[in-house]
Amino acid sequence: MDLGKEGEMSEQIVIRLNKKSIPFLFCAFLFLFALSIGVQTYINSQPSQWGLEYQNWLQQEYGVSSIEELSLKYEQEVSNQIDMETWAFNGPSGGTSTWIPVIPVESPKIDIPNNEASFIIWTDGTKVYAAKGSDGSLYTSGTDACTVIQAAINALTSGGKIFIKRGTYTLSTVVELLSNRPWSPYPNAFLVIEGEGQSTLLKAADGFSANALLRLNNVERALVRDLAFDGNKAGGTTIREGLVSILYARHNTVENCYFLNSPAISICLDTEVYQCLISNNVVRDGSSTGIWLYGNSNQNVVTGNAVQGCSIGIMSQSSSRNSYLGNTVEGGTFGIRNYESYREIYIGNIIIEPTDSCFYADHCDYSVLANNIFKGKVGTTHRGIRIWQPKQVTIIGNVFDDFTLTGFDDRGIWLWGESDSYVGSQVFFNKFINTAQPFVGSLTVDSVKYNIGYVTEKSGTATFSGTGAQTTFTIAHGLNGTPKMAVVTAGSSGAKGDFYVTYDATYITVTYATAPPSGTNNVILRWYAEM
């Protein structure tokens, strides 16, 4: 599929702000800047050696001491790239509104020094072994991978790193990280679990039944990277949360991992998960959701991930202030699903050919969708964006391509709801390509302007030759509907006179009390119309 058709997909749209106005939507973007409620200067009052190395490395490379501070700095740098100029428009309630700052972004990259592993785990295909990283002495071994990996984790009560070498490790039950919240028995157990990429495979055994393959419950500052997780759904497995499940946790990172064949969710942020980074992972062929944020999971960053073949690519439910940057979702029923999650930020994502909607939301108040590409499948995909009960949502600078169906609810953008809670949204500078029905919403409460492929404002000059008897002149305005206003002024002496203007879905009609004089191209009318 050609996402760069006619060069149109790759256009960058520069958005500018009005310095003098303080809009409700800019406040929504500021919530992204405030990812950290308070910047912590120490990992813990008595951090582990690995914690000190991690903190010192972040300070040296990025000038920060924590993941959330790095996210804050990253978003501030994005904001600083905006060229601030004065530009304002009348908002839905007649006041002054402002632009939302949006530019193409790259995923923040967090890496960790290759410090010495506390344990090295490997397999010979029959047994699994764990050796101490300090001297290479064998710590434990056995035929059950869970038992060996869990023993290594349990030994790291002061934190450390577990390196799992390439191979397939069949798991009979869940592997759990030690709880290291301040009130837990092991408050310094900051842990890295690292593999060798796709070749280090943690696979659910046939008939596996547990909450997850790897579970982070009440865990802080864990790093899981360069591993592969296989849910083995063909083997009759049951996973109640996700292949990797994070709950009641904060400041954790899952990056550069592969998630395959989940019978349920693949990456699950389940209940009160704060300020975690889900970065550059690949999720494929899951039976449910690829990446799921649930239950007051707030201020997390989901960036650079690729999800393919899951029923829902990315979902947020009952959460807020999360950021979704530069992810790709292909196939499935919904690309991104939002259910009652507010002040969410979606920037630079690419959603390709789901069967229902690229973005589908119920109540996503004060959220921003900017510079995304929504690619439908000709004759199949129903909607680019569908939002029920939108409240002050900004949809700006997105591309919609190949939404060709013409049913009642088949649209590039569909905003709808009941009048008592449907509050105006802003739909600006989007581009509709090969889209039969670009937009439906309430133009009385939505600000819809400057979109390509859905014309809501237009101006021009119409030239006529007067006959001395003709009193009515019609101008095709080219808008996508009936204007709410049209202004016509005389552009020549022959066009001057007493006239009035009417308009419908196709034409502006100028009717003179007295016919203009005869002549060649002597009646020039300048006009402007907007919906």
Which of residues 454, 481, 502 is at a domain's end? 454
Is residue 65 situated within a structural domain?
no
Is residue 303 situated within a structural domain?
no
**Shared-domain flag, residues 231 and 149:** yes
**Shared-domain flag, residues 132 and 273:** yes
Is residue 297 situated within a structural domain?
no
Beta bridge partners of 331: none
Is residue 117 situated within a structural domain?
yes
**Shared-domain flag, residues 190 and 238:** yes
How many folded domains does the chain comprise?
A: 3
**Shared-domain flag, residues 137 and 273:** yes
Measured CA distances, 88 to 94, 97, 98, 207 (Å): 12, 6, 6, 61
Instruction: Tell me how far apart the alpha carbons of residues 94 and 101 are, in angstroms, rounded to a whole number.
Output: 21
Is residue 163 situated within a structural domain?
yes
Place of tokens 């904001």: 79
**Shared-domain flag, residues 365 and 428:** yes
Is residue 73 situated within a structural domain?
no
Measured CA distances, 362 to 315, 337, 415, 473 (Å): 12, 9, 10, 46
Which of residues 396, 420, 454 is at a domain's end? 454
| Cβ-proximal residues to 513 (8 Å cutoff; 6+ apart), any chain | 471, 497, 498, 499
Q: Taking the CA atoms of the chain, what radius of gyration do you get in angstroms?
A: 28
**Shared-domain flag, residues 165 and 283:** yes
Instruction: Tell me how far apart the alpha carbons of residues 58 and 119 are, in angstroms, rounded to a whole number.
Output: 23
Which of residues 454, 477, 502 is at a domain's end? 454
The CATH number that applies at residue 225 is 2.160.20.10
Q: Which domain holds residue 521?
A: 457-530
Is residue 254 situated within a structural domain?
yes
**Shared-domain flag, residues 436 and 467:** no
Q: Tens digit of pLDDT per residue, the chain (531 long)? A: 333 333 333 333 333 333 333 343 344 333 433 433 332 333 333 333 434 544 564 566 556 665 455 545 544 543 443 332 222 222 333 344 333 333 333 333 333 344 589 999 999 999 999 999 988 899 999 999 999 999 999 999 999 999 999 999 999 999 999 998 888 888 888 999 999 999 999 999 999 999 999 999 999 999 999 999 999 999 999 999 999 999 999 999 999 999 999 999 999 999 999 999 999 999 999 999 999 999 999 999 999 999 999 999 999 999 999 999 999 999 999 999 999 999 999 999 999 999 999 999 999 999 999 999 999 999 999 999 999 988 889 999 999 999 999 888 889 999 988 765 567 789 999 999 999 899 887 766 778 888 999 998 999 999 999 999 999 999 999 998 899 899 999 999 999 999 999 999 999 999 999 999 999 999 999 999 998
Q: Which is nearest to 281 in space by CA: 307, 315, 256, 312? A: 256
Residues 450, 453, 456, 457: is their CA dihedral positive or negative? positive
AA letter at 302 = V
**Shared-domain flag, residues 124 and 267:** yes
